[in-house]
């Protein structure tokens, strides 16, 4: 792990897997943009913070995913820092029961065991129409990009550096991603289009890259997600249940599923693509002898 300077007082921790930006208020106090993954990154992040004598006074979060807010509760306890997050994301991680509503296909016990450490108290809730936030005297701009998660945001620091969280993925991730995650793909694609209007001097993608211009990256992300949806569409043969599609996708995408947890993750990822295809009327959903079955729409629209 190492620290990279981005611009002015905006830096990021390169955890290997992720860029975690932070804003340096002075030599000691920092505001983190997301807090990282607990299992694989906490130790390294903590060592780096201590080595530099940094004190975390605030955490401003893009969205409530395990690899982005995994150290919120831990760092809040250690540094007594304030936490800000979009209101809906804050609600999701406010209790195990609320996490279970989000991760609905897993039991409360499984959710508590796997995601329980994400539960944290949020001090400042960011509303849907809020376009800036002042944290510890520092002004950040907020750009709403729902879709990847219900209330995902991008955050711009006073140095005009935009942290895009998971609103976009890098070329490196695209190479290895079989079915990148979007909670509501149609909204996520709309948010990606909105990003063409975000004019900043630097952009940080969480997984992972720093860019001066993201125009091409946005276009390539949109085609990548749409292409993945097309690949899901291409496995649909006749009338299929969600499980039939899942089975066909695992085979066609060479996805191995060897645990209940992995099954839940893959099923959730696939559901977004199937719902998207259904929403844009490429496939339709019908009842068939008591089963819900998807089939290609007879006059499929070209998208
Ligand atoms: Zn995410």
47 and 161 part of one domain: yes
- In sequence order, the β-bridge partners of residue 59 are 32, 83
> What integer is the mean pLDDT of 28-53?
96
Bridging pattern class, strands 29-33 and 55-60? parallel
193 and 247 part of one domain: no
Is 108 inside any structural domain? yes
Query: Which residue's entry shows tokens 């831990």?
Result: 74
Cα of 68 from ligand 1 centre, angstroms: 7
Cα of 78 from ligand 1 centre, angstroms: 24
172 and 60 part of one domain: yes
CATH classification at residue 244: 1.10.10
Task: Report whether pLDDT(303) > 70.
Answer: no
Is 231 inside any structural domain? no
Cα of 297 from ligand 1 centre, angstroms: 31
Q: What is the pLDDT of residues 196-240, one digit of tens each?
A: 999 999 999 999 999 999 999 999 999 999 999 999 999 999 999
How many domains in the chain? 2
Cα of 62 from ligand 1 centre, angstroms: 9
Is 171 inside any structural domain? yes
108 and 83 part of one domain: yes
198 and 271 part of one domain: no
Cα of 165 from ligand 1 centre, angstroms: 7
Task: Report whether pLDDT(43) > 80.
Answer: yes
Cα of 148 from ligand 1 centre, angstroms: 6
271 and 181 part of one domain: no
Which domain-ending residue is among 191, 224, 257?
224
pLDDT at 178: 87
Cα of 167 from ligand 1 centre, angstroms: 8
Segments forming the whole domain that contains residue 258: 236-296
Which domain-ending residue is among 224, 254, 283?
224
pLDDT at 302: 54
Cα of 140 from ligand 1 centre, angstroms: 20
69 and 173 part of one domain: yes
Is 301 inside any structural domain? no
204 and 242 part of one domain: no
Per the prediction, the chain carries an average pLDDT of 95
Cα of 69 from ligand 1 centre, angstroms: 10
CATH classification at residue 88: 3.60.15.10
Cα of 67 from ligand 1 centre, angstroms: 7
Ligand 1 (single-atom ion) residues, CB below 5 Å: 65, 166
Cα of 299 from ligand 1 centre, angstroms: 34
Is 229 inside any structural domain? no
Task: Report whether pLDDT(301) > 80.
Answer: no
Which domain-ending residue is among 173, 202, 224?
224
């Amino acid at each position: 792990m190492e620290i990279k300077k981005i611009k002015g007082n905006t830096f990021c921790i390169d955890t290997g897997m992720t860029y975690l930006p932070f804003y340096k208020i002075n030599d000691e106090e920092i505001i983190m943009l997301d807090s990282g993954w607990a299992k694989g990154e906490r130790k390294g992040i903590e060592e780096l913070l201590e080595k530099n004598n940094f004190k975390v006074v605030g955490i401003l979060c893009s969205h409530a995913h395990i690899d982005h807010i995994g150290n919120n509760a831990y760092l809040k306890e250690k540094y007594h820092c304030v936490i800000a997050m979009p209101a809906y994301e804050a609600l999701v991680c406010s209790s195990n029961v609320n996490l279970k509503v989000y991760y609905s296909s897993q039991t409360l016990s499984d959710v508590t065991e796997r995601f329980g450490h994400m539960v944290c108290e949020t001090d400042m809730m960011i509303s849907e129409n809020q376009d800036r936030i002042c944290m510890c005297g520092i002004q950040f701009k907020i750009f709403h990009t729902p879709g990847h998660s219900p209330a995902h945001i991008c955050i711009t620091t006073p140095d005009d550096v935009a942290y895009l969280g998971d609103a976009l993925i890098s070329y490196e991730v695209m190479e290895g991603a079989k079915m990148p995650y979007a909670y509501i793909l149609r909204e996520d694609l709309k948010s990606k289009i909105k990003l063409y209007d975000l004019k900043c001097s630097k952009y940080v993608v969480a997984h992972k890259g720093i860019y001066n211009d993201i125009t091409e990256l946005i276009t390539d992300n949109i085609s990548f997600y749409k292409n993945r949806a097309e690949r899901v569409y291409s496995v649909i043969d006749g009338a299929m249940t969600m499980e039939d599609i899942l089975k066909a996708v695992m085979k066609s995408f060479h996805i191995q599923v060897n645990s209940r947890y992995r099954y839940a993750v893959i099923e959730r990822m696939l559901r977004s693509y199937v719902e998207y295809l259904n929403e844009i009327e490429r496939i339709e959903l019908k009842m068939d002898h008591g089963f819900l079955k998807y089939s290609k729409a007879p006059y499929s629209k070209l998208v």
